[in-house]
Amino acid sequence: MAESGDNGAPHGNGAAADFQNTPGMRLLDQFEGSKLLPNIMHFGRVLRSAGLPVGPGKIIDAVNAVQTVGVASRKDFYWSLHAVFVNRRDQHEIYDQAFHIFWRDPRLLERMLGMLMPEIPGEEQDEPQEPPSRRIMEAMSPKEQEGRQQEEEKEPEVEVEATLTASANELLQKMDFEDMSADEVAQAKAAIARMRLTIDDVPMRRYERSHRIDRVDMRATLRAAMRSGGGLIPLQYRRRRRRTPPLVILCDISGSMGRYTRMLLHFMHAITNDRDRVHTFLFGTRLTNVTRHLRQKDVDVALECCNDMVDDWSGGTRIGESLKDFNRFWSRRVLGQGAVMLLISDGLDRDAGRGLELEMERLHKSCRRLVWLNPLLRFEGFEPKSQGIRAILPHVDEFRPVHNLESLTELVEALNRQLSRRQEGMGEWLKAM
């Protein structure tokens, strides 16, 4: 689709000639010398910086589309540009917001001509409806802060900057999510979006072709024999197919989890969209299944949906009750087929661990591997003192910190490692109990 510029360009002239007599073209004549066509180009650039794949070919297509349809009706104009610029469901939201901001204010439109210049003062905070997503605002006013900083510094040496980013990256890896500035949070989110979780594959009871000598695939063998005329019967082989097990994430969103929650939601979103069979549950005082919402491709839309679904953000925690709900209503539905479970919580429980141990035991017995991620583990000399933590610890297979990018990366690596027996990753913690 994005390559349509290849056909678009050669046909450009001929198409324009054909349109000379269409009503759209006649209408467009009124705009002769107006800024409509450059504006379409600028609109395309806005979309591009908001993350849509818009290249020159698409912009030519868009101009052609507008010439064909005309600009008599705003609705037609909207949908003809939509047809060109949007090619995935999740881009619609961005397009919609960008369109309404870009084509609303004629003065803003004028200003958009200066798109190449670093600053657009048109922030338009008096937006009457819901505020547009930050992505659009950032795309409209490119690099507000950064741009200004750079201007102040007046072209700093590029080499120095490169090394700075490298070490900054290292710092970012180790920085606690809680201490990050807005800018660092954005960078961390981008890093998280690139994370891939490849949990150790488990053999399925299905087979696939193999070239190694393994089991004989009789069906393929017979077909191969027929191909060679039946004189020779060359053996064909097959082997067990491997597949990643289902992953179930239970994440604590209570007040004590603070800022981690939002970063972890980004992490969960990245995982959910990377692989199949991921189920995600959030809990504070009660349990909410957000699996379907996190499947939204666009991370902003997905988190927005989660926000609407959950009404116990940053409240208290009732781990025991939530786990009980999970065990009763969900464990049998999502923990089949050897699921791996991530429990993300600080283990600080309002109910002081009442009934928690029993539920943890059941949970542990219902899944193949249970990993507990705890942001509190970032403190040196963390000791399992709280009742909640003491109730959970004996029933997990692994206990890991989750407070910065590095720990997330380590988690990804740890999950790739095959553990041969349960609680293998728990040695020192069980002793500490």
Partner 1 sequence: MSEQLPASIDDTLKMLSDGRYVADRSLATALYLALKLGRPLFLEGEAGVGKTEIAKVLSETLGRNLIRLQCYEGLDVSSAVYEWNYSRQMIDIRIAEAAGEEDRDRLEEDVFSDRFLIKRPLLQALELDLNGNAPVLLIDELDRTDEPFEAFLLEILSDFQVTIPETGTVKAEKPPIVIITSNRTREIHDAIKRRCFYYWVDYPDAKRELDILDVKVPDADKDLSRQIVAFVQRLRSMDLFKLPGVAETIDWTNALVQLDKIDLDPETVNDTLGTLLKYQDDIEKVKGSEAANLLEQVKADLAARS
231 binds partner 1 (CB under 8 A): yes
Out of 193, 204, 305, 414, point to the residue binding partner 1 (CB under 8 A). 204
DSSP helix/strand/coil, 274: helix
For partner 1, the closer CB: 219 or 417: 219
Please state, in angstroms and rounded to a whole number, the distance separating the CA atoms of residues 95 and 90. Answer: 9
What tokens were used for 39? 């504006």
Out of 109, 358, 412, 419, point to the residue binding partner 1 (CB under 8 A). 358
Rounded to a whole number of angstroms, the distance between the first and last alpha carbons of the chain is: 60
Out of 10, 229, 381, 427, point to the residue binding partner 1 (CB under 8 A). 229
Least gap, CB of 227 to partner 1 (angstroms): 9
Site string for partner 1, 240-259 (x = CB under 8 A): ------x-------------
205 binds partner 1 (CB under 8 A): yes
Stretch that binds partner 1, among 58-66, 116-124, 222-230, 302-310 (CB under 8 A): 222-230
128 binds partner 1 (CB under 8 A): no
Out of 222, 309, 430, 433, point to the residue binding partner 1 (CB under 8 A). 222
265-294: contacts with partner 1 (CB under 8 A): 276
235 binds partner 1 (CB under 8 A): no
Please state, in angstroms and rounded to a whole number, the distance separating the CA atoms of residues 44 and 52. Answer: 9
Q: How far is CA 243 from CA 120, 206, 223, in A?
A: 50, 10, 27
For partner 1, the closer CB: 196 or 205: 205
Which residue do the tokens 């979309």 mark? 47
Strand 278-283 to strand 247-252: parallel, antiparallel, or no bridges (unpaired)? parallel
294-353: contacts with partner 1 (CB under 8 A): 327-328, 332-334, 336-337
Out of 174, 219, 242, 297, point to the residue binding partner 1 (CB under 8 A). 219
Least gap, CB of 222 to partner 1 (angstroms): 6
Dihedral sign for Cα 143, 148, 151, 157, please.
Answer: negative
For partner 1, the closer CB: 186 or 226: 226
Please state, in angstroms and rounded to a whole number, the distance separating the CA atoms of residues 359 and 349. Answer: 14
**H helices of 54-197, where?**
56-69, 74-85, 92-102, 106-112, 134-140, 144-153, 158-174, 182-193
Site string for partner 1, 158-197 (x = CB under 8 A): ----------------------------------------
- Residue 306 CB coordination number (10 Å): 21
Strand 237-243 to strand 215-216: parallel, antiparallel, or no bridges (unpaired)? antiparallel
1 binds partner 1 (CB under 8 A): no
Stretch that binds partner 1, among 76-84, 147-155, 200-208, 373-381 (CB under 8 A): 200-208
225 binds partner 1 (CB under 8 A): yes
For partner 1, the closer CB: 174 or 242: 242
Per-residue burial over 76-85, b if 16 or more Cβ lie within 10 Å, else e, is ebeebbbebb
Per the CB < 8 A criterion, the answer to whether 40 and 62 are in contact is yes
For partner 1, the closer CB: 14 or 230: 230
What tokens were used for 67? 């010439």
Least gap, CB of 223 to partner 1 (angstroms): 8
Site string for partner 1, 361-380 (x = CB under 8 A): -x------------------
- Residue 29 CB coordination number (10 Å): 9
218 binds partner 1 (CB under 8 A): yes
Please state, in angstroms and rounded to a whole number, the distance separating the CA atoms of residues 255 and 198. Answer: 30
Element holding 289 (H helix, E strand): strand 287-289
CA–centroid distance for 49 within its chain: 18
What tokens were used for 93? 């939201």
- Give the binding site for partner 1 (CB under 8 A): 204-207, 218-219, 221-222, 225-226, 229-231, 233, 246, 276, 327-328, 332-334, 336-337, 358, 362
